[in-house]
A and B are shown apart, each in its own frame.
Chain A
Amino acid sequence: MSNAVQEVNRHTIAVLVDNESGVLARVIGLFSGRGYNIESLTVAEVDPREKLSRITIVTSGTAMIIEQIKNQLRRLVPVHKVQDLTTQGPHVSRELALVKVSAGGEKRVESLRIADIFRARAIDSTNESFVFEVVGATDKVDAFIKLMEPLGLTDVSRTGVVAIARGPNPI
């Protein structure tokens, strides 16, 4: 097989599902049972009236595997729509992270300075710590966390990626 076919790419997939018990287990079980990767998964109800939740999954695989993932997802009875944001056109994606940094002196000042550059907000503060809230694409969040490491990084909580297609059309 050619290299193009074997090439592993990262895809962001949006899945609209019935918000019923067990639906997340079905999706996650599908990934673990069939040996697919999950790099990130987020889920929340998006339509309370229709009881629909939206799952955003970041996964990676060859073109054939990605096609399989989408088709396997579509096969689940509570799944309504599956959209491959990576291939269907331009999309925007964001991730939010809460980053706890504990330090004094110059490091403390430096962490504030970097937070400013990244437009991260300090949302909690003590004499020896900050919690920063940073929002952006995954690599921006990665970069921020990396810069915080030598400055007293102690804890990180990330939402995982949420994403949506550009333009007027819904999923």
Chain B
Amino acid sequence: MAHHETLTGAEILLKALVDQGVEVIFGYPGGAVLPIYDELFKQNRLRHVLVRHEQAAVHAAEGYARSTGKVGCVLVTSGPGATNAVTGLADALCDSVPLVCLTGQVPTHLIGNDAFQEADITGITRPCTKHNYLVKDTNDLARTVHEAFHVARSGRPGPVLIDLPKDVVQNKGEYVAPAKVKSKYKPQVKGDMKGIEKAVEMIAHAKRPIFYVGGGVINSGPAACQLLTQFVRMTGFPCTLTLMGLGAFPGSDPLFLGMLGMHGTVEANMAMHDCDLMINIGARFDDRVTGKLDGFAPKSKKIHVDIDPSSINKNVAVDLAIVGDCAHVLEDMIKAWKAKQARVDDKALKAWWAQIDRWRSSNCLAFEGSNKLIKPQYAIQRIYEMTKHRNPYICTEVGQHQMWAAQHLKFDLPHHWMTSGGLGTMGYGLPSAMGVQMAHPEALVIDIAGESSIQMNIQELATLVQHRLPVKVVILNNQYMGMVRQWQELIHGGRYSESHMIHHPDFVKLAEAFGAVGLRAESPSEVDGVINEMLAVDRPVVVEMRTDASENVFPMIMPGMAHNEMVLGPEDRSRDNPGSETDGMVLV
């Protein structure tokens, strides 16, 4: 690196991005970022994906980041460009996705003057980014970009925004290499050894243990997932995963109890409720997981491993907290386990598994098949069976289809499941799939969608076509905002207030209008055929499956209830379930 090299701000910016390993930028140009786009035009090291709406740029970067473990990069203009990105940033913050979002800003001398396309975006995004910067001097630009990437990827990952006034990217300044930037931001990654040894002791003495594992393990990286799998198998303990954690432990392993929480399995939720030791690794006791806090695992001791100290004792008080990166802590835990020659309580564990197998035998995800109507669960099972040999990357939108996908798909690998968990952003899936496909051009990328969610960012079909991204979108069309309808049915007396979109577009024609392939299945007998057709095409495909409109997601922990108060589906009543009195449902 030459010293005292003077470049324009835009040149410095792109150089810094390249030095940070950026390959792809998802963005949309506008007045304030024109100097940056001009610079992009002159080079070919950074690819740019032109989205159709800035929210989609952020979700695409999220998909890219979550499927690779790298930092996603977004470039949008000032004012509306930046405010459109806000939902995506909030989503990335909730789900701890590392992003750097570059926003244009009016020139420094106009800031605060209500200039054209001016928005106080650092003010607006302060609570929905991990950190943000307003660069006022071109000489600070390189350092700021390097620090932003460091902050985005270190500790608990998250989105970082850099606001770039137009004059700052036009003026000249000095480039600084990443190695010369020392950040004061240094989160703790090694766990306290005493705590880890205590944990090993607690684990060895547990009689009814469970691993409760979240997205933190996936964020920690593939090594963390391998160490987790190794440790769970060493102990022979049951393991449940959160929505964000799916893939951290192999979904096909017999020790896996399925997802827990509001739409988790009976065996996962009951085991959580009755456990005597809960080993939480990289999960945050989210309210959709815990249900009623007073009734949450009342008989348990709790160990919590998390890189973010503010996640500890936030919702649930724990008995042992270990602050650190999951991979480091798991590695030390396995070492300590071996050094102590610790052994699990085999006899107690056998009895615990016998109990878990009884819960498992309820087969809570079973559903009543149909020859006439496509059951959404059936559609998802068929997608799974027909594509699993290709290890597809699955994205979802938000709602019933998302929960069915989480319940019925099995992930044996991390980084293959992209869904909006914390914020629950409808419209996440399609742009996210775009980002995944950019990162993995040869892979099969499927967005499982609902007909309502998909319409929130459907304009991105044009992006798929333009960039030749062969994403497969499967719309489970049940004519309703399904999850809203389900809550209205179960909680609001069947008053379907505004959850029925009476008019939907013809998705097949719509796909074709965008230049994608449109397919439709209207009966179960057509499902395999359209999936085969979809897989055979090397272009973006939209498949509409007309599904049973009345299907609900079960099991369900109603809001304000505890894990052992799940509501099961109507078909469980017809099987041998004791205490089935309420019409159509069973309180376990």
- The answer to the question of B309 belonging to the interface, with a C-beta cut-off of 8 Å to chain A, is yes
Distance (whole angstroms) from the CB of A120 to the closest CB of chain B:
40
- Determine which of A29, A67, A71, A75 lies in contact with B127 in the assembled complex, contact meaning CB atoms within 8 Å: A29
Distance (whole angstroms) from the CB of B151 to the closest CB of chain A:
6
Contact stretch, chosen from A18-26, A53-61, A127-135, A144-152: A18-26
Which of A56-112 touch B at CB < 8 Å? 64, 67-68, 71-72, 74-77, 80
Provided the pairs A25-B123, A33-B127 are in contact, do residues A71 and B317 lie with their beta carbons within 8 angstroms?
A: no
- The answer to the question of B184 belonging to the interface, with a C-beta cut-off of 8 Å to chain A, is yes
Check A68 against B184 for contact (C-beta < 8 Å): no
Check A80 against B184 for contact (C-beta < 8 Å): yes
- The answer to the question of B48 belonging to the interface, with a C-beta cut-off of 8 Å to chain A, is no
- The answer to the question of B338 belonging to the interface, with a C-beta cut-off of 8 Å to chain A, is no
Contacts of B185 in A (CB 8 A): 77
Check A67 against B126 for contact (C-beta < 8 Å): no
Contacts of A33 in B (CB 8 A): 127
Interface size class of A (residues with CB under 8 A): 10 to 19
Provided the pairs A22-B122, A25-B123 are in contact, do residues A77 and B313 lie with their beta carbons within 8 angstroms?
A: no
- The answer to the question of B312 belonging to the interface, with a C-beta cut-off of 8 Å to chain A, is yes
- The answer to the question of B582 belonging to the interface, with a C-beta cut-off of 8 Å to chain A, is no
Distance (whole angstroms) from the CB of B378 to the closest CB of chain A:
43
Per-residue A-contact encoding for B300-323, CB less than 8 Å = 1, 0 else: 000000001110111001000000
Q: Complex formed: what's the CA distance from A3 to B177 in Å?
A: 55
- Determine which of A5, A26, A68, A75 lies in contact with B126 in the assembled complex, contact meaning CB atoms within 8 Å: A26
Per-residue A-contact encoding for B275-312, CB less than 8 Å = 1, 0 else: 00000000000000000000000000000000011101
- The answer to the question of B15 belonging to the interface, with a C-beta cut-off of 8 Å to chain A, is no
Q: What is the chain B residue whose CB lies nearest that of A75? A: B310
Contacts of A26 in B (CB 8 A): 126
Check A68 against B131 for contact (C-beta < 8 Å): no
Distance (whole angstroms) from the CB of A76 to the closest CB of chain B:
8
Check A21 against B134 for contact (C-beta < 8 Å): yes
Q: Complex formed: what's the CA distance from A163 to B370 in Å?
A: 71
Check A72 against B310 for contact (C-beta < 8 Å): yes
User: Chain A binding site: helix, strand, loop or mixed by DSSP?
Assistant: helix
Q: What is the chain A residue whose CB lies nearest that of B123? A: A25
Contacts of A68 in B (CB 8 A): 310, 313-314
Which of B188-216 touch A at CB < 8 Å? none
- The answer to the question of B130 belonging to the interface, with a C-beta cut-off of 8 Å to chain A, is yes
Distance (whole angstroms) from the CB of B94 to the closest CB of chain A:
14
Q: What is the chain B residue whose CB lies nearest that of A33? A: B127
- Determine which of A5, A30, A75 lies in contact with B308 in the assembled complex, contact meaning CB atoms within 8 Å: A75
Contacts of B312 in A (CB 8 A): 71
Per-residue B-contact encoding for A19-51, CB less than 8 Å = 1, 0 else: 001100110011001000000000000000000
Contacts of B122 in A (CB 8 A): 22
Contacts of A5 in B (CB 8 A): 317
Q: What is the chain B residue whose CB lies nearest that of A32? A: B127
Q: Complex formed: what's the CA distance from A25 to B131 in Å?
A: 12
Distance (whole angstroms) from the CB of B453 to the closest CB of chain A:
27
Interface centre among A21, A22, A30 (most CB of B within 10 A): A22
Per-residue A-contact encoding for B110-151, CB less than 8 Å = 1, 0 else: 000000000000110011001110100000000000000001
Q: What is the chain A residue whose CB lies nearest that of B148? A: A77
Check B131 against A71 for contact (C-beta < 8 Å): no
Q: Complex formed: what's the CA distance from A35 to B317 in Å?
A: 19
Check B308 against A29 for contact (C-beta < 8 Å): no
Contacts of B308 in A (CB 8 A): 71, 75
Contacts of A80 in B (CB 8 A): 184
Check A22 against B126 for contact (C-beta < 8 Å): yes
Which of B560-576 touch A at CB < 8 Å? none
Q: What is the chain B residue whose CB lies nearest that of A5? A: B317
Check A29 against B314 for contact (C-beta < 8 Å): no
CB pairs A–B below 8 angstroms (6 shown): A21-B134, A22-B123, A74-B309, A76-B131, A77-B151, A77-B185
Apart from A22-B126, A68-B310, what are 17 other A-B pairs with CB-CB below 8 Å? A5-B317, A22-B123, A26-B126, A29-B126, A30-B127, A33-B127, A68-B314, A71-B308, A71-B309, A71-B310, A71-B312, A74-B310, A75-B308, A75-B309, A75-B310, A77-B130, A80-B184
- Nearest first, the 4 closest Cβ-Cβ pairs linking A and B are A71-B310, A77-B131, A71-B309, A72-B310
